[in-house]
Chains A and B, each alone.
Chain A
Amino acid sequence: MGTASETHAVLPTTDFQRLLEALSMKGYRVVGPTVREGSVVWETIRQVSDLPIGWRDQQEPGRYRLEHTGSNDIFGVVHGPQSLKPFAFAPREPLLQIERSKNGFTTSSTFPQSEKVAVIGARACDLAGLAVQDRIFLEDAYRDPYYAARREGLFLVAVNCTRSLTTCFCASMETGPRVSRGFDLALTEVDDSFLVEAGSEAGRDLLSGLSLPPASEDLIGEAGSRIEACARNQVRRLDLARLPQALYEAHEHARWDEVAGRCLACTNCTMVCPTCFCHTIEETPDLSHQQSTHVRLWDSCFSQQHGYIHGKNIRPTIKDRYRMWLTHKLASWIDQFGTSGCVGCGRCITWCPVGIDLTEELPALLTSGVQSSIANQQVGDP
């Protein structure tokens, strides 16, 4: 390894188009945040002006607003409702095409076409969320070939955060605001230039093609201090110290009733969560009933049918479902995958229509309240 200035390059904001073109030349469809209907969503972009230049997001529990600042910042918007999740774990994934035949039927796998997609503007929390999904879909007992096919084609251009939202708590989750792994290129926007680092062979290859000048120690230092300030400015945090056990023990806590009184079971938190992976499989036969498509769709533990089992619902109440979601996200996820299911992006707080905030709920649940002990929940003698 050389000095920092040998591994860090500088890209003037006015040259940003060169990065987009270099990615296109390598065969990538370039995707970035774009303003749409008061929010930002991932769209295919062709020029820098497609990006949300001069926009900034304000996020609070149950509230998302874009405001125009008039600055030249390209990445003033921290994030929209989408994480990287839809790129690899598609919201709607046809799995099989099934056709009637003389022996019953034949099935063929409908794998997604391999596509090279470069995503510009992924944040540290998004990369952390993707790493959690990789653990689930690629590194567990079974490897999901659909996820794998989509994941393979991704080139990730991350952006280090230099501004925290009031809903952010990645610093306490140790997932951000600086990206540490899982990126091909990482950018830090410092006034009218970008500090650029490569995080993979593909990233180094692309970076060398751009022949950018090395970054000055000053720029590197300034970028670092802005990221650190961003971490310090975070007002929310989550303390996982006593998890998973403490949350398991809070199963009968009165707070569940209280939060269930506010929760609408709308599923928003699970849809915007970068790690939620529940899905259902739907069968759609054609009109002739000779062909049928087996499709995977995102599901949510807040949906009615999630806990359904032959005529009975294991989780009939909103209380049951909120408890399922939070206990899974923050506790049982650790037992299942060796990592928390929360990366601290704060999306579930912002996009909850009633502003339920898990960084408030967890401490409340871990504070002794009206709580019956687990032992009393066990049925002893008949």
Chain B
Amino acid sequence: MMAKVGSMINPYVIHPATILEKIREAEDINTYRLQLVEEGTRQLFRFQAGQFNMVYQFGVGEVAISIVSDPDEPQILDHTIRTVGRVTKAIADLQPGEALGIRGPFGEGWPLEEAKGRNVLIVTGGLGCAPVVGAIEYIFRRRAQYGSIKILHGVKTPHDLLYRERFDHWRRAPDTEVLLTSDQPDKTWRYHIGVVTELFEGVTIDPAKTIVLMCGPEIMMRLGVPILMRRGIPATAVYVSLERHMECGIGLCGHCQMGPYFLCKDGPVMRYDRVEQWLGRTGV
């Protein structure tokens, strides 16, 4: 929807979107199913899995939220939002029928074309699974075009496990493994106990055929990717979705820098070898 160089279109314009549904994922997390109000804007809107929108609450402000719904149905936009700050608290009060604003889509998404014909290893931690959910759904809708799928997901506590039904659904699919782990389990926890990188030991990996999509805390990437590299996966086959303060979405406000990158336009999905030297540096 957003036009680039040479266009007269204003990249700051916010488009109203109606909340069709509000799905409660957890106590402080909701998924908002949105539809752009303006017919013309809705028709033109296209996105890739892993891209984000700036979501606006009237009179309060904007936040960057990844789009988790299917890119082939761009007239419906799902955003999973956790109530953490000023804007998201105001959004939490909204109900179906009310409006949010949308500006986007922005950034580089997951390399789902490049992943075709390959095994896909998805490694996520905590709420980090939201940006990759769209990618998983995308792959499942085109299941025959991809090799084996392995989803390794770690949470701090069982309470943090979102999208439970989706994990169960994916687990039952052919040639698909879903492994879950929790740092601090409770009595009901039936899966692994520990951090997500421990799950690597339980999966077989064909390094030449595998592409890795990773999303979650940076510490997980810094600890996890070297293990995968030792198992023969090149850094160029690993993609990570990174987070920084994003305000403008168009690489102009300066907040989302990580080394030489503006993560709002060069990312949020970055190939690991490009960001390896910046991950883990303090203050970057």
Chain A contact residues, CB within 8 Å of chain B: 95-96, 98, 100, 103-107, 109, 136-137, 139-145, 244, 248, 251, 277-283, 285, 289, 292, 294, 299, 301, 305-311, 314-315, 317, 319-321, 323-324, 328, 332, 335-336, 374, 377-382
Taking the closest CB of chain A, its distance from the CB of B225, in whole angstroms, is: 10
Chain A residues whose CB sits within 8 angstroms of the CB of B284 once the complex forms: 251, 314, 324
List residues 210-237 of chain B with CB under 8 A from any CB of chain A: 219, 222-223, 226-227
Chain B contact residues, CB within 8 Å of chain A: 2, 4-8, 10-18, 37, 58-62, 82, 84-85, 98-101, 197, 219, 222-223, 226-227, 243-245, 247-248, 250-255, 257, 259-260, 262, 265, 276-277, 280-284
Whether A106 and B283, one on each chain, are in contact in the complex, defined by CB atoms closer than 8 angstroms, is: no
Whether A319 and B2, one on each chain, are in contact in the complex, defined by CB atoms closer than 8 angstroms, is: no
Which of A105, A305, A378 contacts B101 (CB under 8 A)? A105
Whether A279 and B16, one on each chain, are in contact in the complex, defined by CB atoms closer than 8 angstroms, is: no
> Can you identify 19 A-B contacts, CB atoms within 8 angstroms?
A105-B101, A107-B16, A140-B252, A141-B251, A143-B5, A144-B252, A248-B259, A279-B248, A279-B252, A285-B59, A292-B58, A299-B254, A299-B255, A306-B255, A308-B245, A314-B283, A314-B284, A320-B283, A379-B219
Chain B residues whose CB sits within 8 angstroms of the CB of A96 once the complex forms: 12-14
In whole angstroms, how far apart are the Cα atoms of A160 and B84 in the complex?
53
Whether A280 and B253, one on each chain, are in contact in the complex, defined by CB atoms closer than 8 angstroms, is: yes
Given A105-B101, A141-B4, is A374 in contact with B277 using a C-beta cutoff of 8 Å?
yes
Q: What 5 pairs across the A-B complex have the smallest Cβ distances? A: A104-B99, A320-B283, A278-B254, A335-B260, A285-B59
Whether A141 and B265, one on each chain, are in contact in the complex, defined by CB atoms closer than 8 angstroms, is: yes
In whole angstroms, how far apart are the Cα atoms of A146 and B250 in the complex?
14
Whether B99 and A310, one on each chain, are in contact in the complex, defined by CB atoms closer than 8 angstroms, is: no
New A-B pairs, 5, CB < 8 Å, besides A285-B58, A332-B259, A380-B226? A142-B5, A289-B59, A292-B59, A311-B85, A317-B283
Closest B residue to A305 using CB positions: B245
Whether B84 and A107, one on each chain, are in contact in the complex, defined by CB atoms closer than 8 angstroms, is: no
In whole angstroms, how far apart are the Cα atoms of A96 and B276 in the complex?
38
Chain A residues whose CB sits within 8 angstroms of the CB of B60 once the complex forms: 283, 285
Chain B residues whose CB sits within 8 angstroms of the CB of A103 once the complex forms: 16, 18, 37, 99
Whether A278 and B255, one on each chain, are in contact in the complex, defined by CB atoms closer than 8 angstroms, is: yes
Closest B residue to A249 using CB positions: B277
Whether A100 and B58, one on each chain, are in contact in the complex, defined by CB atoms closer than 8 angstroms, is: yes
Taking the closest CB of chain A, its distance from the CB of B108, in whole angstroms, is: 11
In whole angstroms, how far apart are the Cα atoms of A304 and B88 in the complex?
20
Whether B283 and A319, one on each chain, are in contact in the complex, defined by CB atoms closer than 8 angstroms, is: yes
